[in-house]
Structure 1
Amino acid sequence: MAHPQYTQLVPGRVAAIIPVSDITIASAAYRSIFGLKQTFQNGDPVGYMILEGGAAELHLSLQPDHNAPKFNVAHMLVSDAAQAHKACEAQGFRIIKALKDQDYGLRSFVFADHDGNRIDVGQTL
């Protein structure tokens, strides 16, 4: 139950921050697969970058010593999960869970990017 003092609070944008060991390689891969465009970068050398496309916003944070967790760090809806699956494989991303039509109404799969970050990708059926 919401606390009465916060009932007027309306959340705004929320974006996943993905830690990466090489921001140039990671941004090129995500841009290639999902058609995202770079809209912001910070630092010299670049240590933080924002990629956007459609309703998606993905933030990349340079973390050279990053150790990826064994759980999904983000969920992304796409218009064509099969196409995204092929593009992830072509980019060298490891497929953690195979492309499958789920009983909860999504065609989905899970990939691990070059840094081991797991992202669940789904398409509404």
Structure 2
Amino acid sequence: MTAAETPRTFDHEHCGCCGRQLPASEVVELGTTPGVFICVGCALWAARRAGPVAALRQLRFTPLGALARRLTGSRATPGTAQAAVPILPSADLDRTAAFYTAAGFSETERHDGYLLLHNSGVELHFTHESTPTPGQCFVHVADAVKLCKQLRERGTAGAGEVAEQDYGLHEFVLTDPDGNRIRFGSPTS
């Protein structure tokens, strides 16, 4: 029986790369070629072949990345938290994007009244509010002292002084134009 003659079940799709028939929840349809699906394994293989690790990082923010997160998350114990993402207020999303881009973040998505920024594994979300009440969050980094120095060298406004805390962290606060306070910290040793 050829692939064209193979009976198709609606809860399964064939990967257009490896040809395996998989549950529909384990493949994603390619946006530019409707009816063609690819599995996570083939998507990761293609990303590795296409370029450096940066390609894999970008994959996280695509439908394939969402699929991979959903699949790996499905193995976790139900109710187990995977991550927390702060949603901070912004009176001007363009100004917020410019501020955090200068601080080393990348704008990855924008929707009506909503902005998503990333830096390595850190994700910040902003929602438009005409009169924002400032929020705050904590971001773990490898070296807070080095990061603060880099921000100051870039001329990023709002970067406070690094302080060694009695609980074993170097910390500093970055205050954005809306008054949001992002506290960065790393172990002292």
TM-score tier (shorter): 0.7 to 0.9
Work out which structure has the larger RCO, using CA pairs closer than 8 Å and 6 or more positions apart in sequence: 1
The answer to whether the aligner puts 1:51 opposite 2:105 as a matched pair is no
Report the counterpart of residue 120 of structure 1 in structure 2.
183
Tell me the alpha carbon deviations over residues 79-123 of structure 1, each in whole angstroms, 9 at most, x when there is no partner. 33224334169222163xx31112222111223211111221112
Report how far residue 23 of structure 1 moved. Answer: 0.9
Q: Retained in 1: the 8 A contact 2:116–2:124?
A: yes
Identity of aligned residues (%): 30
Report the counterpart of residue 39 of structure 1 in structure 2.
108
Distance 2:121 2:133 in 1: 28
Larger Rg belongs to: 2
Amino acid at match of 2:156: Q
Which of the pair is proportionally richer in strand? 1
Q: Retained in 1: the 8 A contact 2:88–2:134?
A: no
Which of the pair is proportionally richer in helix? 2
How many equivalent pairs are there? 110
Spell out structure 1 runs of 4+ moving beyond 4 A: none
Report how far residue 41 of structure 1 moved. Answer: 0.9
Instruction: Report the secondary structure of 1:104's partner residue.
Output: coil
Structure 2 unaligned regions, length at least 5: 1-76
TM-score (ref. length: structure 2): 0.51
Q: Retained in 1: the 8 A contact 2:173–2:181?
A: yes
